[in-house]
Amino acid sequence: MDVELLVVGLTTFVGMEFVARGTHKYVMHGVLWSLHKDHHYPSNSTFQRNDLFGLMFAGIATTLVWYWFRTGDYYLLAVALGMAAYGASYLTVHDMIIHDRHARLRRRGINNRYLRRLIQVHDLHHEEGEGNWGFLLIIPGLDHFPERKVRA
């Protein structure tokens, strides 16, 4: 059962990238653009309305933990931990490295080949306002790559 729970947690983590991609494309750039648009403009604010999306997913994970407490179903906990791990990774990679918010880690991210490419792909999304919907993974065939240097 321990291996199954680990697989469920890891599958949830990876699956969240695809949930996030779909949410980004169809919800954030669609019906809830009013909450997401502040993310596409320069801001010195600590918080953005766009942060509400992360809080929504955190609320779902927290609810799963609550149900785990009530039922003892460890699969609920595994899913919640996979979601929480994705959320922590999103905060670190997307907010702190790609967008240089909070801990200001973009300069460090540029020194890593994968993170530098992720920054380039995401910067292109912000320039064009479409495409490159992912946050942590670069998927050839879905994401297109700019051929330019990344700004620090």
Residues 14-24 pLDDT 10s:
999 999 999 99
Tell me, yes or no, if the pTM score tops 0.95.
Answer: no
Which residues does the chain have with pLDDT short of 70? 147-152
Owner of token pair 């792909």: 121
Q: Are 13 and 85 in contact (CB under 8 A)?
A: yes
Can you give the pLDDT at residue 132?
86
SS3 127: helix
Q: Report the chain's C-alpha Rg in angstroms.
A: 16
Can you give the pLDDT at residue 143?
87
User: Nearest 5 degrees, angle CA 111-CA 39-CA 11?
Assistant: 65
